[in-house]
Amino acid sequence: MMKPNACVLLGLICSTTCSLVHGQYETEIQVAKDGTADFAAIQEAIDSAKSFPDKRVTVHVKNGIYEEKVKVHSWNSRLTLQGESTDGVIIRWNDHFDKMKRGRNSTFHTATLLVDGDECCLENLTIENTAGPVGQAVALSVEADRCLIENCRLVGHQDTLYAAGTNSRQHYRNCHIEGTTDFVFGEATAYFENCTLHSKANSYITAASTPAGRPHGFVFDNCRLTAADGVKDVFLGRPWRSFAKTVFIHCEMDGHIHPAGWSNWNAPENETTAYYAEGHNTGPGADAAKRVPWAKMLSDEQAKQLTGEEVLKPFPLPAMQTSGNDVSDTRIPKDPSYTLASAYAKYKKDYPFIRAVEYDSSHGNLRQSNVCYHTVGTRKLSLDIFSADPTTGIKPAVLLVHGGGWSSGDRKLMHPLADYLSRHGFVAITVEYRLSPEARYPAAVDDLKNAVTWVLVNGQGHHIDTNKVAILGCSAGAQLAGLVGLTYRVDASVAGGQNPIRAIVNIDGVMDFTSEEVRKSEDDPSRESTPASRWLGGRYAERPERWKEASPLYYVDEQSPPIKFVNSSQPRFHAGRDEVIAKLNEYSIDSAVTTFDDAPHSFWLFDPWFEKTGMVVVRFLQKVLN
Per-residue pLDDT, averaged over 15-21, amounts to 41
Catalytic residue list contains 182: yes
Within a domain: 107: yes
In this predicted structure, the answer to whether residue 43 has a pLDDT above a threshold of 90 is yes
Count of structural domains within the chain? 2
Question: 280, 296, 311: which is the final residue of a domain?
Answer: 311
Q: What is the phi/psi pair of residue 168, to 5°? A: -100, 155
Q: Do 375 and 278 lie in a common domain?
A: no
| pLDDT at position 319 | 61
Same domain, yes or no, for 301 and 370?
no
pLDDT above 50: residue 326: no
- Concatenating the DSSP letter of every residue in 274-340 gives -EEEEES-BSGGG--TTS-TTSEE--HHHHHT--HHHHTS--PPPPPP-SSS---GGGS--BTT--H
380 bridge partner residues: 375
| Any domain includes 149 | yes
Question: Does any domain span residue 328?
Answer: no
Residues near 197 by Cβ (< 8 Å), separated by ≥ 6?
177, 178, 183, 184, 205, 220, 223, 224, 225, 226
> Is the pLDDT at 618 greater than 80, yes or no?
yes
Residues 467 and 373 in one domain: yes
What pLDDT is attached to residue 1?
A: 34
pLDDT at 279: 95
Give residue 64's region: left, alpha or beta (phi > 0; psi -120 to 50).
left
Give residues with Cβ within 8 angstroms of 152, minimum separation 6. 86, 122, 123, 124, 125, 126, 127, 140, 172, 175, 176
- 322 pLDDT band, cuts 50/70/90, is very low
Question: Is residue 122 within 8 Å of 81, Cβ to Cβ?
Answer: yes
Q: The whole model's pTM is what?
A: 0.56
Q: Is residue 52 part of a domain?
A: no
Per-residue pLDDT tens over the stretch 346-359 = 999 899 999 999 99
Q: Do residues 551 and 545 touch, judged by C-beta distance below 8 A?
A: no
**pLDDT confidence of 16, banded at 50, 70, 90?**
very low
248, 283, 311: which is the final residue of a domain?
311
Partners of residue 190 on adjacent β-strands: 170, 218
Domain membership flag for residue 159: yes
Whether residue 413 sits in one domain with residue 298: no
| Domain end point (choices 311, 342, 373) | 311
Instruction: Evaluate if residue 390 carries a pLDDT over 80.
Output: no
Q: Is residue 350 part of a domain?
A: no
Residues 145 and 82 in one domain: yes
159 and 285 fall within a common domain:
yes
Beta carbons of 411 and 431 less than 8 angstroms apart? yes
CA distances from 91 to 46, 65, 139, 490 (A): 14, 6, 9, 45
Other beta carbons less than 10 A from residue 611's beta carbon:
10
145, 159, 335, 410: which is the annotated catalytic residue? Answer: 159
Q: What is the CATH number for 556?
A: 3.40.50.1820
Write out the residue range of the structural domain in which residue 254 sits: 65-311
| pLDDT (average), residues 529-537 | 89
Please, which pLDDT band fits residue 497 given cuts at 50, 70 and 90? low
The 8-class DSSP code of residue 78 comes to: T
- Over the stretch 268-319, which tens digit does the pLDDT of each residue have? 888 988 999 999 999 999 999 999 999 999 998 899 999 999 999 998 776 6
CB 401 within 8 A of CB 433: yes
Give tens-digit pLDDT for 563-612. Answer: 999 999 999 899 999 999 999 999 999 999 999 999 999 999 999 999 99
CATH code of the domain containing 201? 2.160.20.10
Pick the catalytic residue: 116, 145, 182, 419? 182
Q: What is the pLDDT at residue 23? A: 55
Within-domain flag for 563: yes
**Residue-wise pLDDT tens digits, 49-88:** 999 999 999 999 999 999 999 999 999 999 999 999 999 9
Percentage of the chain exceeding pLDDT 90:
78
pLDDT at position 331 is: 59
pLDDT digits (tens, 9 = 90+) for 183-227: 999 999 999 999 999 999 999 999 999 998 889 999 999 999 999
**59, part of any domain:** no
8 A C-beta contact, residue 82 and residue 66: no
